Structure formats: C-alpha cells, structure tokens
Structure 1
Amino acid sequence: MDGQENEQRGPGDTDTPSRRERRWRPRWPTDRSGRARRVGVVLAVLLVALTGTALGVFAGGRVSTDIGPFRADLTLAPAVRGGTTVDIPPLGALQLDSHQGPTHLTVGLGALDQRKTEALIDDPAGISRASQSAVTDVRNGVLRLGLRTLGAAVLVTLILAALVFRDTRRTAWAGGVALVVTVGSLGLAAGTLRPQAIEEPRYEGLLVNAPAIVGDARRIANDYSRYAEQLQRLVGNVSQLYTTVSALPVYEPAPGTTRVLHVSDMHLNPTGWQLIRTVVEQFGIDVVIDTGDMTDWGSEPEASYVGSIGLLKKPYVYIRGNHDSPRTAAAVARQPNAVVLNNSTTTVAGLTVAGIGDPRFTPDKETSPAGSGLTAQVANQVIGAGETLAATIRSSPRPVNIALVHDPASAGPLSGTCPLVLAGHTHARQMSKLPQVDGQQPTQLMVEGSTGGAGLRGLEGEKPTPLSMSVLYFDQQRLLQAYDDITVGGTGQAQVNLERHVIRDPAKGADVPVTPTPTRGASESPSPSGTAPTPTSPSPSPTR
C-alpha cells in the first residue's frame, strides 16, 4: 500500500497501536539520516559558539587600567599563537614570547595622568611605591581583562545562538561551548606564562636601536634598584624648581622685559615637556625658542611628540636639527602657536628672530662638538647655512635681535649681523663671543645643552646627560640683560641647579657676576658655590 508493508494477521491477532505503527513505518532507513542530522546540529552549534566567542572577545576584550602614573589599555584578541605586544608610541613596540595559546595580549601605554604625576612630584617617595605596585597593577588589570573577556564571549554567543537556532537547548549548548573554549584558552595562557620573556624582547620601530643604546635587558633588570633610586631623586628634584626660584639673588627685571625660554635637543624625552611647562608657568615666559633635534629619527610616528607644543599656549619658534626631518618640521608647523623658520624671519613678543634649519639630515649620527669630525663637504654645508642666514638678516627690513642655528659651527658667518646667536647640537652649554669683523657690533653665541637629556643617547655613559634650558631676559631695547641657566639631574649628583647671570647693569654699564644658587637633591654632597661665569669667560658643561 503506497510502498508500505502490510502484516498478515492470524485469527486471534488484534490491531494494537504498536502493530499499526510497525505496519506504517517507512521502508527507507532512518538511522543514517538521524545521525547526519545530529552531526549537522553539533557542527552548527560549534560554529555559532566559535563565532560568538570571537565576536565577544573583539567586543569586550579590552580594559583600561592604571600602571603607576600611566594609563594603559589592555586588549585580548584571538591569535594563531600567543604572545604580548607592548606599544610605546611614538617609539615603537616590544614583542614578548610570554605565553602559548590562541590569545594575544596587547598593552598600549597611554599618556601620564597629570594628577598622579603631580602627586609623585610632591611626594618623591611615591615613585618607589609606584614601582613596587606596578606588578600588582598589571596583575589586577589582566585579571579584570580575563573576566570581562569571558563574560563578553559567553553573552555574545548566547545572543547569536538564540537568533540562529531559536531553541533553548541548542542556545544553552552553544553558550557552554563558548565558556569551555574561553576558559580553556585563558587557562592555557596562564599555565604557559613565561615571566622571563621580559628579558628577551623583540624590538620594532624606533626601539630597534634600544639594545645598542640601553644595553642588555637582564643587566638593566638586575640594576633596577639603582636606577629606581636615581629616578626617585630626579623626580623629587624637579619639584624643587619652585622653591629654588624664591632663593635666587634679588633681581627685578625692568618694566617691559621680555622673557624667552631657550630649549634644544629634546630627542623625544617626554620629561622635557613636563620641565618646559613648569618653567613657562613659573617664570612667566613670553616665547619659547627651540634650536632643533626635537626627535631622534624624524619618522612619521615621532610626529605625535610635537603635540605638547600647543599645550604651552605661548609662541613657539623652531628650527630643524639634523635629527629632524621635513615631516617633523611640518608637524611642528601645524601647531597653532608654532612658527618654523627656514632661512626666514619672524617677530614675536616684540623680538625679531631669524633662523635656518640644519642643512643635514643624519639621524644615525652621534652628537659631536661643533665642527669636530666633519668632512670638508659637510663643514662647507654647515658653514654655508650660516652664510645664507647672514645674507637674509642683512636684507631684513627690521633689525634682527636673535639668530637661530642648530650647529654652533654655523654661527661664525653671523658675527656682526645681530647681537645674539642661539644654537644647540653639542648637548653641552656654552656662552662665548664671536670674533668681531671690521669693527662690527659684537655678537654673543649661546649654546644650549640638551633639554631632553639627549634622549636614549643620554644613557650611554656612566652619568646621564642633564636636562638643560635657559631663561633669557631682554630689555626694551631688545638686548639680553640677564639669563638663568637651569639644569636638572644627570650630573651624578641628581640635583636641580639654577644659575643667574646678569649681563648688564643699567647703572654701571658693565657685566656683573651673580652667585649661583644650587638646589641639592636628597642624599648628596653639597655642590660648591662660587661666582657665576660671565659671558666673556664661559664655563661650559662637560659633554656626555
């Protein structure tokens, strides 16, 4: 009957429900199709569970946490193999073979928290506590990240399964699979954790130069206590800038005095910006002048470093150094308060300033004293830049008060063209007079040290390079009447030192030396105080 099988009944047989079910059972085999259907359901549940887990990890596998004064973003993502990436913009990244498993951890270091940083400055012992709590901060952040990732993976999987299957049992199975997969992946990562991976990083970006500059990571880790002690003293001494100012010799600039902050050779050191902001606010600076080498390699990622210029809210005059690329200069020019000079002049705060960028772009070269070790061709380039700027100054419709060059070797041709030339490059402060030519007006050359402590290069020697900058005071005739040399740390004594030099006494018309006022850091021997050098008898700081 239509492909169905009839059973023969005997005289005593009755037509029971079970017999009727057997009579009308289909003849094609049902076991095979049932197994195929079950396999299909299982595969569908696995697919939905894995998809939901991946989407959940991408959606919820991110937390923000405080690591000392830093704000860090921790992110988990599915990966073929485990590991950790530490992003340190704009310098690059560290790749750590920290664990196994299908999860990859990314740690992105953000900006410093201003409130916490100020607290560290006010309480020097806080840097020690912050370093001790850093491991705990990271552990707590990773734990929160794991729990958040687990919750997001299961929740997204349940929502996706409910939409796909519309069946409570299959939705529950998918959620269970997501729970097992996520817990298993996180457990595998925790079980294969290699803390020693921090000693064996792979460098990317600008950090590829770190091993040659900083040294072996294991040695640094072993010497951490010594470095932490020096850092603690340095941070504590930055806070003493405020108290040091009140102890300076009595000096009242005349009405109409213009205050200029001269900085140079920042070399990507963020501490330099903190110090600049402190001095700008405390000294009432009118304009900041930067004589170059703001970056190390002039690369595109480094351009973000210049963003702190706009936060100063003061005119910022800049020339390019030999470590700065045209992209660096363009990034500075985009800041609302910045002026980039390249064989040009500008007038800011009543001062007419002329400047020219360094003719070289040699980010792979070490800093050397002005003019030393230069080939004849390079020397001609450097001196030629000064000659070009001298011609621009002579043709300027307004008298130029300050000329800017990066390398002091460019300053020679500027003698007699203006009263003052500012330079950097050597990472060593020096004040001298350029040789006079044909009875022209005398020109003073002021070479600034490194406001960024020479960046990573400052760690090469036994003693780190100090952070240096100078506050220049100009009278109403736009002549330099005094300057304060500010030096922070790096001299082996980890101290803040301010030396005030008075160039001209209006009553006597002569140079008057003033005793410097050093501020000592904790646990250091007193530094000798004496008469500050006058501009005609410079006492340059030692090189790195």
Structure 2
Amino acid sequence: MNDEGAVTGRRGTRITSGSGRGLRGAGEAAKNAWRRGTGNRMVRRTGLVATMIVVAVGGIFAGLLVAGDTQADVGPFAARFSLTPSVSGDTDVQIPPLGSLGLDSHDGPAHLTVRLDTLDQDRTFALASDANGLAAASQTAAADLRHGVILLVERSIVAGLLGSLLLSALVFRNWRRVLASLGIAAVTLTATGAAAAITFKPSSIEEPTYNGLLANAPAVIGDARRIADQFSEYRDQLQRMVNNISKVYSTFSSLPVYEASPDTIRVLHVSDLHLNPAAWAVISAVVKQYDIDVVVDTGDINDWGSQLESSFADSIGSLDVPYVYVRGNHDSAVTAAAVAAEPNAVVLDNQSVTVAGLRIAGIGDPRFTPDKEADRKGGSVPEQLNASGSQLAATIAAAGTPVDIALVHDPASAGPLNGTVPLVLAGHRHAREVSFMPPVLERPETRLMVGGSTGGAGLRGLEGEEPTPLEMSVLYLDRTPALQAYDEITVGGSGTAEVTIRRHLAAGDAPGEPASPAPSAPDVESASPDPGTQASPLTSRPGVTTSSPRGN
C-alpha cells in the first residue's frame, strides 16, 4: 500500500499531489507569459504605426512650412500662394495693409492663402494705358489664379514628401519604416487633395467675407459691377474736360465785377479728393491760371488712409505753392505723414501757421472712419466733433494772435469757432454751402464755407446716374485780410465736358442766412471744336459761367 496522498508510477516514481499542483501552475504561468508577450508585441506594433503616422504628418507640415509656398503673377500683382493645416479649409486672399477676403472655397485639412504682395510697375502702367486693360485683366485673373494654385499643389506635394522622408530617416534609421512613413505621407496628401477637390465651391468667390479695412468696402463703394460699367465713360469724359480746360471761353452778362488788386491774396480751397488722380490736373491748371498764393485742403485726400495710398500725395510738391492741409475722417496718421513729407506742405493739427500773409489755424478730424473700433471711442460722433472745434478755439484764444482762416473737415466742428475767426472752411459733405453762423454777442460774424468734393467723391461719385462733378473755390482776400469775393469752379456733368465758374461778391452775402449765388449768365456749350483749333487760356476774369467745348 502506498502512503495516502501518493501515487506510484509505472517505473515506481512517486508523484505526490503537491507536485501535480506545481506542474499545473507552471503551465498556467507559461500560458500567461505567452499572452503577455503577444499583447506586448501588439502594443509595440500599434505604437510603431502611430509613430510612423505622426512622423509622416509632421514631416509634411515641416516640408510645407519650409518650402511649401510659391510665387506667381496675378494680373499686375506679384502674389504668394501657401498652404497651412486647417480644420475648416477655406481660402484667404490677403491685400495688405487693407485687410483680406475670406472665401468658403472648400472643406478639408488644408487652408489656402493668397497674398497680393506688390504691384509690378511696368504691368500696372501697361494696364492703365491700355483701353482694354481692365477687361483683359478680369479675363485672365482666373487663369492666373488657377496657374498659381497648380504650381502650389505641385510644390506642396514635393515639399511634403521630402519633409516626411527626411524626418522619418532621422527618427527610425530603418529603410522599411522610412518607406512605410513615406507611403503614409503619400496617402495623406492624396486624401487631402481629394477632400478639397470634392468639396470645392466655385460660387464662393461671389460671397466673400471682408476683414480689416476692407470690411467697409461694400457699403462705401456699392455695386462694384455697376461702377465698373460706368467708369470707362466717366474716365473718357473727365479726360476731355482736363484736355479742354485751357479752351474755356468767357461770357460776360450782368455779372458783378470784382477787379483784384495786385496785392490781393488768392486762396484755392479744395477738399475730399478721395484718390481721384484727375483732380490734380484741374488743381494744377487753376493754380497757374489764377496765380494762386496758397492751396488749403480740408481733408479726405485718401479713402482708407493706408500706406499704399501715400503716393497719391506726391503731386502736392509739383504745385509750387504752399499747401495747407488738415486730416479728414478717411485720412490716417500715415496720410498726414505723406502730405507733410512734401516740401511745400504744412499739416495742421490744433496749430496755426502764417502763409502768404494769412494766419491759418486748423485741426484734423477726430475720427478715422475705416477703423470702426476707433470710431467707438471718445463718445458719440457729435461730441467728438464739437470737442475738436472747442480744442482749436481754445488754442487760438491762448495764442493771442488773430486768425484769418480756420480749417476743419466736418462743418459740425465749426460751432465752437463762431465769433473767434471771420472765416471757417470745411468739407466732408461733398456739397457746397456758404452761410453765416448765428451771431454771437459783441463778436464778429463768422462765415462758414463748406466746399464740394474736388475729387468728385472718388468711386462713390459713380454710384448715381451721373458722376459727381469736381468742385473747388478761389477766395480773394485783401491785405486786411478780409474776404472780398470768391469764385466757385465746377468741372463735370454727365454727357457734357462742362466747366462752370460762378463769381460771388462777399458783400452780397447776407448774414444770418445761406449765401446765394450772384446773378450769372446761362451756361454756354459749343459744338466740338475743330481738331486744329488753338487753345486759349482759362481766365480768372470777373464772374463768368462758362463751359468747355466737348472734346473729340
């Protein structure tokens, strides 16, 4: 008999029950070890695949950041195209410093950015001088953009694959894993391109989102297509007027006569040029023909106050007479700096200066309309404008030197100057108005002269059925100095190349009510002149209402 709890094998080997339990435990341990090994291998493989994906995608991003952009011409612009990772996709057209246009062009992980960096001078001049330049540019713009995007896609694929290859080679140092990462990068780029192509929305160009200063463009410019249709007609008409301004002839009939003396001071008041280059040709002609002593500008020489617009002020230096200027609500500090850089220009901002025998004070508009955030600061608009006028009045009073003319942009700033100066010049409203401000006890009367737009209101002037005319005024002051007379010059009129000059005697304006024009002869317009007709100079002789012959 064997002992209890023991078993005798065939060869007499005794195997106790405890030994059996040990064998089974060893088997279970081996099974668990195998399972753990298999699980660890799966974890390692999953981790390796995830690492290769991360390395592949990271390599794509690195490649795109380093070499994933390209440059191409879009019309007269040198544009830079680039791709960046994005959740929503879309396209951003950047027009520095004016802002950008956002287009909901596609979905997917790639965001397209088109930055219009610089204007090519030769292409721009060629476009401006060619009568069909604008039409040709609009027809080729889409093709230029398509070409730029194709170049960008090709470059991005190469840059992404190369970046993935280099990064995976640095991380893995195993050619199989490097090739696997490269394959993952190729699949990722293909999927990204497919997602963008499938979700592409060509109609997005018609519904852009305006950002930055461009956010004001739709409200200010209006229907761009309608304006474009009218612009060619307006441009041709204005060119005829500028070419024929020296052919204006005078008509004298029952007009008040004012004979300027040799010591008369002639002041040309301009305002609201709004980037219209044709204004400079008319201003230059008037300065020469009227023998102007000083030009005063009551603001809004620009539209957006951007750095790109600064060159518009370059024509000031060619006038060869002093140019006194105050900022309008469309002019920025950049605009003022550009004007101040001209050798004959003086920028007034709560200051006064003596020019051509006149003491002139002025202050810039407290607002900057293109910047809506800045417009919300400093109280309501009426409060800002009134405070601006009060500030200038206090400066004049503190100086103790009588001021002959005060300059503000918005007539709403003129109230506090009433009784402080004899004459206030303003603009802003794009419409002429001459009036006396309400009398102040024991103070001299103050005349407020609001000028029209010397730039025809810029692009806004094309929104109506007829283009807004170009308007400016010539003021005649004696050596007192007191205003003796003024001429209102109007250049414009749809369908006619018309120049109108209306003479007013200052003594004929009645205090307490708007000034009315002096009697004038009817406007005169002749038939088109013979091409060989010699020009006769524009004259500043006593009050006339004239029109130029229509150009050929």
Call closer, same or farther: CA 1:227–1:456 in 2, change over 3 Å: closer
Deviation at 1:188, TM superposition (A): 2.0
Name 1:427's counterpart in structure 2. Answer: 430
- Equivalent-residue separation in structure 1 for 2:298 and 2:464 (angstroms): 27
Does 1:264 pair with 2:267? Answer: no
SS in structure 2 at match of 1:140: helix
CA-to-aligned-CA distance 1:482-524 (integer Å, 9 cap, x gap): 9895757xx655x8765568999xxxxxx9x999999999xxx
Does 1:49 pair with 2:52? Answer: no
Cα pair 2:365 2:385 within 8 Å, conserved: no
Deviation at 1:437, TM superposition (A): 11
Does 1:230 pair with 2:233? Answer: no
SS in structure 1 at match of 2:80: strand
Percent of aligned pairs with the same residue? 41
Name 1:101's counterpart in structure 2. Answer: 108
- Equivalent-residue separation in structure 1 for 2:349 and 2:469 (angstroms): 26
Name 2:141's counterpart in structure 1. Answer: 134
SS in structure 2 at match of 1:354: strand
Deviation at 1:194, TM superposition (A): 1.0
- Equivalent-residue separation in structure 1 for 2:39 and 2:106 (angstroms): 44
- Equivalent-residue separation in structure 2 for 1:140 and 1:208 (angstroms): 28
Call closer, same or farther: CA 1:279–1:247 in 2, change over 3 Å: same
TM (normalized to structure 2)? 0.62
Question: What is the aligned counterpart of 1:342 among 349, 367, 370?
Answer: 349
Name 1:9's counterpart in structure 2. Answer: none
Name 1:332's counterpart in structure 2. Answer: 336
CA-to-aligned-CA distance 1:47-67 (integer Å, 9 cap, x gap): 222111112223334334443
Amino acid aligned to 2:233: R
Amino acid aligned to 1:448: G
SS in structure 2 at match of 1:353: strand
Cα pair 1:262 1:469 within 8 Å, conserved: no
Call closer, same or farther: CA 1:333–1:347 in 2, change over 3 Å: farther
- Equivalent-residue separation in structure 2 for 1:69 and 1:516 (angstroms): 43
SS in structure 2 at match of 1:74: strand
SS in structure 1 at match of 2:115: strand
- Equivalent-residue separation in structure 1 for 2:293 and 2:172 (angstroms): 69
Deviation at 1:249, TM superposition (A): 6.2
Name 1:243's counterpart in structure 2. Answer: 243
Aligned ranges for residues 180-259 of structure 1 at < 5 Å? Answer: 180-208=187-215, 220=223, 224=225, 226-236=226-236, 243-244=243-244, 247=247
- Equivalent-residue separation in structure 2 for 1:173 and 1:259 (angstroms): 83
Call closer, same or farther: CA 1:249–1:532 in 2, change over 3 Å: closer
- Equivalent-residue separation in structure 1 for 2:264 and 2:216 (angstroms): 44
Cα pair 2:234 2:467 within 8 Å, conserved: no
Call closer, same or farther: CA 1:211–1:40 in 2, change over 3 Å: same
- Equivalent-residue separation in structure 2 for 1:294 and 1:429 (angstroms): 17
Larger CA Rg, structure 1 vs 2: 2
- Equivalent-residue separation in structure 1 for 2:355 and 2:111 (angstroms): 51
Amino acid aligned to 1:243: N
Call closer, same or farther: CA 1:383–1:473 in 2, change over 3 Å: closer
- Equivalent-residue separation in structure 1 for 2:544 and 2:308 (angstroms): 37
Deviation at 1:99, TM superposition (A): 0.8
Name 1:17's counterpart in structure 2. Answer: none
Deviation at 1:350, TM superposition (A): 7.6
CA-to-aligned-CA distance 1:199-258 (integer Å, 9 cap, x gap): 33334445555566666xxxx58xx3x4432123344556657634554569xxx99999
Name 1:87's counterpart in structure 2. Answer: 94
Call closer, same or farther: CA 1:382–1:163 in 2, change over 3 Å: closer
Aligned ranges for residues 131-530 of structure 1 at < 5 Å? Answer: 131-208=138-215, 220=223, 224=225, 226-236=226-236, 243-244=243-244, 247=247, 263-265=270-272, 271-272=275-276, 274-275=277-278, 289-293=296-300, 304=307, 307-308=310-311, 311-312=314-315, 314=317, 317-321=324-328, 323=329, 328-329=332-333, 332-333=336-337, 337=341, 339-347=346-354, 352-358=359-365, 388=394, 391=397, 395-396=400-401, 402-408=405-411, 421-429=424-432, 447-450=450-453, 454=457, 462-463=464-465, 466=468, 468=470, 470=472, 485=489, 487=491, 492-493=494-495
SS in structure 2 at match of 1:462: coil
Name 2:30's counterpart in structure 1. Answer: none
SS in structure 2 at match of 1:193: coil
Cα pair 2:396 2:403 within 8 Å, conserved: no
Deviation at 1:196, TM superposition (A): 1.8
Amino acid aligned to 1:405: V
Cα pair 2:502 2:544 within 8 Å, conserved: no
SS in structure 2 at match of 1:99: coil
- Equivalent-residue separation in structure 1 for 2:334 and 2:93 (angstroms): 28
Name 1:60's counterpart in structure 2. Answer: 67
Cα pair 1:91 1:302 within 8 Å, conserved: no
- Equivalent-residue separation in structure 2 for 1:52 and 1:467 (angstroms): 60
Choose between structure 1 and 2 for higher RCO, CA contacts under 8 A separated by at least 6 residues. 2
TM (normalized to structure 1)? 0.62
SS in structure 1 at match of 2:65: helix
Q: Tell me how large the CA RMSD over aligned residues is.
A: 5.7
Count of aligned pairs between the two proteins: 461
Amino acid aligned to 1:427: H
- Equivalent-residue separation in structure 2 for 1:107 and 1:519 (angstroms): 52
CA-to-aligned-CA distance 1:422-441 (integer Å, 9 cap, x gap): 32021124578999999x99
Deviation at 1:103, TM superposition (A): 1.1
Cα pair 2:427 2:450 within 8 Å, conserved: yes
Deviation at 1:386, TM superposition (A): 7.7
Deviation at 1:127, TM superposition (A): 1.5
- Equivalent-residue separation in structure 1 for 2:102 and 2:118 (angstroms): 21
Cα pair 2:339 2:347 within 8 Å, conserved: no
CA-to-aligned-CA distance 1:11-58 (integer Å, 9 cap, x gap): xxxxxxxxxxxxxxxx98987766655544433332222111112223
Call closer, same or farther: CA 1:179–1:309 in 2, change over 3 Å: same
Call closer, same or farther: CA 1:238–1:192 in 2, change over 3 Å: farther
- Equivalent-residue separation in structure 2 for 1:66 and 1:262 (angstroms): 42
Q: Which runs of 5+ in 2 are unaligned?
A: 1-32, 251-260, 373-380, 506-517, 529-537, 547-552
- Equivalent-residue separation in structure 1 for 2:294 and 2:404 (angstroms): 14
Cα pair 1:87 1:106 within 8 Å, conserved: yes
- Equivalent-residue separation in structure 1 for 2:88 and 2:504 (angstroms): 65
Call closer, same or farther: CA 1:151–1:498 in 2, change over 3 Å: farther
